[in-house]
Amino acid sequence: MKKFYVTTAIYYPNDIPHIGHAYTTIAVDILARWHKLKGEKVRFLTGTDDHGKKIEEIAKKHGQAPKEFTDRLIPKFKDAWKKLNIKYDRFIRTTDSDHEKLVQEVLTKVNKKGDIYLGKYEGYYCTGCEAYYTEKDLINNCCPIHKKPVEKLREPSYFFRLSKYQKKLLELYKRNPNFILPKFRQQEIINRVKEELYDLSISRTDFDWGIPIPFDKKHVTYVWFDALLNYITGADGFWPADVHLIGKDIIWFHTVIWPAILLSAGYKLPKSVFAHGWWTFNQEKISKSRGKVININELISIAGVDSARYFLFRETPFGEDGDFSEQALIERHNNELANKFGNLISRVSALAEKYAIEKTKNNLIKKLKLKEIEKHFENYEFDKALNLIFEFIDRCNEYVQGNKIWEASCLDRGKKLYELADSIKAISILLSPFMPETCEKIAKIFHFKISFSEIHKPLKIEKIKKAEILFKKI
Ligand code: MSP
């Protein structure tokens, strides 16, 4: 059986999850469901990145210990994923004991190999990014991403010999042109790696909310050396990952630092890393400080779970930035889901309840561009897959309308209804990764199983009942 292992970035549990976290997590859910449809053995890993200075500081503000603080936030993440109908296999936390053990083992291994040394870190640190910057990265002495002042650090630190892996990384990008996806993001990374790679500071002594370095307990490692390794801890025999889905802001860590750690520790490399774009809200950056955050309850309350899941992947090509607006979501819900998809299901199910359906060859389905749709799924082109599925929904609606099925002769009507019902089966199976709840309802009405191979099997004729309204217009 073919295996498929896919992961989300693990999120900082410093607040409740918002649309940015939901975006990666739904994308992974769509991919996982797609590969399950295809009969593959799938592993889907998500979780939280509990350590680091940022969490420690926020916990302190709340008068809590970091563990206590994060323990209270984790249920909010789990609850959000449940509401969004996300089916992961493991929710990992970097504080899980198997993970802490693995990180220490890897540190020991990499140290023995001579890839870790004690040095002195002198430079700048942004707690928002949990990352180091050099003077030339800064803009007006501020972090280029958070635009906030950075901390000047001068302290002993263990370093990972990232510089040693420059050549191997460049070879990797050449050998595997799908390692960094989308392709338009490759060149920037390659250029930066070619220019110069600095060794990476991986430990600190001025706080302790991290994993103790096994060979020097005064130091803790946290965030990147710690967090990235979650993908190995949670693999459960599925390593190497087929794809890590992440946001574009953390592409450097996943396509440079991560493969270097794996090369040093002697693990296989993931097959690819796909970086998606960022959402803005009414053209403004989503930011907590300015009050522009869309949390999961808000997202769902606009038009329901399936419409939200659909919208995020129809509105913008995956990989590019998108702008979220309530109006745009409502328009797609009304025009595409209620008027087109919902209407097709309701008309065909109503006719099939009233008139007998007659088994025949489905010629209508020739208009479904199945091979192209599969290709789009494989290439993470979710918007294009959806476009083609909805093109076919249009053809089906025209078929109902143009043929005036209700006026046709009994036999002819029965056959046309069969073609439509069988086409609805294909449509719903293909849409099920995006809208699982709705598609399961349709599967019950038309009596089919949600599995890719069912697309090619003729629909069994059983009594069909008129569907309830699937998408109420707003
Ligand atoms: N903990 C690290 C990741 C470690 S992975 C080994 C981290 N966490 S985060 O909580 O800050 O961000 C997690 C993810 O959310 C990132 O992939 C980021 O791109 C994504 N998003 C945060 N805001 C976003 C938007 N506004 N839009 C889309 N995704 C964004 O980084």
Structure tokens of 155?
Answer: 């302290």
Give yes or no for residue 377 CB within 6 A of ligand 1: no
Give yes or no for residue 125 CB within 6 A of ligand 1: no
Structure tokens of 382?
Answer: 């979710």
Q: What is the DSSP letter of 318?
A: B
Given this model, what pLDDT does residue 127 score?
Answer: 85
Protein residue whose Cα sits closest to atom 19 of ligand 1: 247
Q: Classify 433 as helix, strand or coil.
A: coil
Going along the chain from its start, the domains and CATH numbers come out as 3-298 (3.40.50.620), 326-456 (1.10.730.10)
Compute, in angstroms, the gap from residue 467 CA to the centroid of ligand 1: 39
Give yes or no for residue 278 CB within 6 A of ligand 1: yes
Rounded CA separation 404/407 (Å): 6
Given this model, what pLDDT does residue 154 score?
Answer: 86
Rounded CA separation 52/220 (Å): 10
Q: Check 38, 78, 83, 146 and give the catalytic one.
A: 146
* H or E stretch covering 443: helix 436-446
Contacts 24+ apart (CB under 8 A), 69-72: 70/13, 70/95
Given this model, what pLDDT does residue 328 score?
Answer: 96
**Closest atom of ligand 1 relative to the 228 alpha carbon:** 6
Given this model, what pLDDT does residue 25 score?
Answer: 98
Give yes or no for residue 344 CB within 6 A of ligand 1: no
Q: Is residue 73 within 8 Å of residue 82, measured between CB atoms?
A: no
Give yes or no for residue 94 CB within 6 A of ligand 1: no
Rounded CA separation 423/432 (Å): 14
Compute, in angstroms, the gap from residue 10 CA to the centroid of ligand 1: 8
Rounded CA separation 395/366 (Å): 11
Rounded CA separation 104/455 (Å): 48
* H or E stretch covering 396: helix 382-402
Protein residue whose Cα sits closest to atom 12 of ligand 1: 11
Distance of CA 423 to the CA centre of its chain: 29
Rounded CA separation 246/309 (Å): 17
Paired residues of 276 in beta bridges: 247
Give yes or no for residue 9 CB within 6 A of ligand 1: yes
Q: Check 51, 129, 425, 439 and give the catalytic one.
A: 129
Rounded CA separation 123/222 (Å): 18
Given this model, what pLDDT does residue 290 score?
Answer: 56
Please confirm, yes or no, whether 473 is among the known catalytic residues.
Answer: no
Residue 5 has, within 13 A of its CA and on its CB side, a CA count of: 17
Q: Check 62, 147, 268, 288 and give the catalytic one.
A: 288
Q: Check 35, 36, 51, 143 and give the catalytic one.
A: 143
- Measured CA to CA in angstroms, residue 65 lies from 59, 60, 150, 406 at distances of 6, 7, 24, 68
Given this model, what pLDDT does residue 134 score?
Answer: 86
Give yes or no for residue 250 CB within 6 A of ligand 1: yes
Give yes or no for residue 246 CB within 6 A of ligand 1: yes
Give yes or no for residue 23 CB within 6 A of ligand 1: yes
Compute, in angstroms, the gap from residue 180 CA to the centroid of ligand 1: 17
Compute, in angstroms, the gap from residue 29 CA to the centroid of ligand 1: 16
Please confirm, yes or no, whether 376 is among the known catalytic residues.
Answer: no
* H or E stretch covering 41: strand 41-48
Give yes or no for residue 323 CB within 6 A of ligand 1: no
Compute, in angstroms, the gap from residue 21 CA to the centroid of ligand 1: 6
Given this model, what pLDDT does residue 194 score?
Answer: 97
Nearest to 220 by CA among 158, 265, 160: 158
Q: Is residue 391 within 8 Å of residue 422, measured between CB atoms?
A: no
Is the full-model pTM beyond 0.75?
Answer: yes
Give yes or no for residue 390 CB within 6 A of ligand 1: no
* H or E stretch covering 104: helix 97-112
Compute, in angstroms, the gap from residue 202 CA to the centroid of ligand 1: 20
Rounded CA separation 241/46 (Å): 13
CA end-to-end span of the chain, whole Å?
Answer: 44
Runs of H (alpha helix) within 113-223: 166-175, 186-195
Q: How does pLDDT run along the chain (474 residues), one tens digit per residue?
A: 899 999 999 999 999 999 999 999 999 999 999 999 999 999 999 999 999 988 999 999 999 999 999 999 999 999 999 999 999 999 999 999 999 999 999 999 999 999 999 999 888 988 888 888 888 889 988 998 888 899 888 889 999 999 999 999 999 999 999 999 999 999 999 999 999 899 999 999 988 899 999 999 999 998 789 999 999 999 999 999 999 999 999 999 999 999 999 999 999 999 999 999 999 988 877 766 556 678 999 999 999 999 999 999 999 999 999 999 999 999 999 999 999 999 999 999 999 999 999 999 999 999 999 999 999 999 999 999 999 999 999 999 999 988 788 788 888 899 999 999 999 999 999 999 999 999 999 999 999 999 999 999 999 999 999 999 999 999
Please confirm, yes or no, whether 18 is among the known catalytic residues.
Answer: yes
The DSSP result for 73-89, as a single string, is HHHHHHHHHHHTT---S
Compute, in angstroms, the gap from residue 388 CA to the centroid of ligand 1: 30
Q: What is the amino acid identity at position 435?
A: M
Paired residues of 58 in beta bridges: none
Q: Classify 322 as helix, strand or coil.
A: strand
Q: What is the DSSP letter of 281?
A: E
Q: Check 168, 183, 285, 465 and give the catalytic one.
A: 285
Q: Is the bond leading into 240 cis (omega within 30 degrees of zero)?
A: yes
